[in-house]
């Protein structure tokens, strides 16, 4: 499974650093939606689903968390803890976010608007969708 961490421009300045994400430049899709997850209680996880059409670019704006990606055949976990790096999550990938540090903020840039029928919430249904028989 290909894990793609994309380094975003980091402009350092004594007054504070600045990072920018631009669609079709360092974010490899048109951004149609942005949302952020924060105040995740200790021990809780987010995600737990896959998308049929939507791609995501996930950034730890503050703090850290783990993202586990699963394509039905392989599973890998990535630590996100730099606000100048983003994780590209392709379609047909089960994702779970957990181990949020105190004060963590997760930014998600999405390639599509919200569509309920794009989500696969049941892992067994996901395995069938990607053609994986375990």
| Helix, strand, coil fractions of the chain, as percent rounded to 5 | 5, 45, 50
| List of long-range contacts for 17-23, beta carbons under 8 Å, 24+ apart | 17/84, 19/83, 19/84, 21/57, 21/59, 21/86, 21/109
pTM over 0.75: yes
Nearest to 96 by CA among 131, 53, 61, 44: 44
pLDDT in tens, 2-59: 899 999 999 999 999 999 999 999 999 999 999 999 999 989 999 999 999 999 999 9
pLDDT in tens, 85-96: 999 999 999 999
Catalytic center residues: 49
């Amino acid at each position: 499974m290909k894990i793609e961490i994309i380094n975003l421009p980091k402009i350092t300045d004594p007054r504070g650093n600045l990072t920018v994400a631009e669609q079709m430049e360092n974010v490899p899709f048109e951004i149609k939606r942005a949302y952020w997850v924060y105040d995740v209680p200790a021990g809780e996880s987010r995600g737990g689903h896959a998308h049929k059409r939507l791609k995501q670019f996930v950034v730890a704006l503050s703090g850290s968390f783990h993202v586990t990606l699963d394509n039905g055949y392989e599973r890998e976990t990535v630590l996100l803890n730099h606000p100048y790096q983003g994780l590209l999550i392709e379609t047909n990938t089960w994702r779970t976010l957990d181990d949020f540090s105190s004060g963590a903020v997760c930014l998600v840039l999405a390639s599509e608007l919200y569509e309920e029928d794009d989500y696969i919430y049941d892992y067994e249904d996901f395995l069938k969708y990607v053609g994986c028989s375990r």
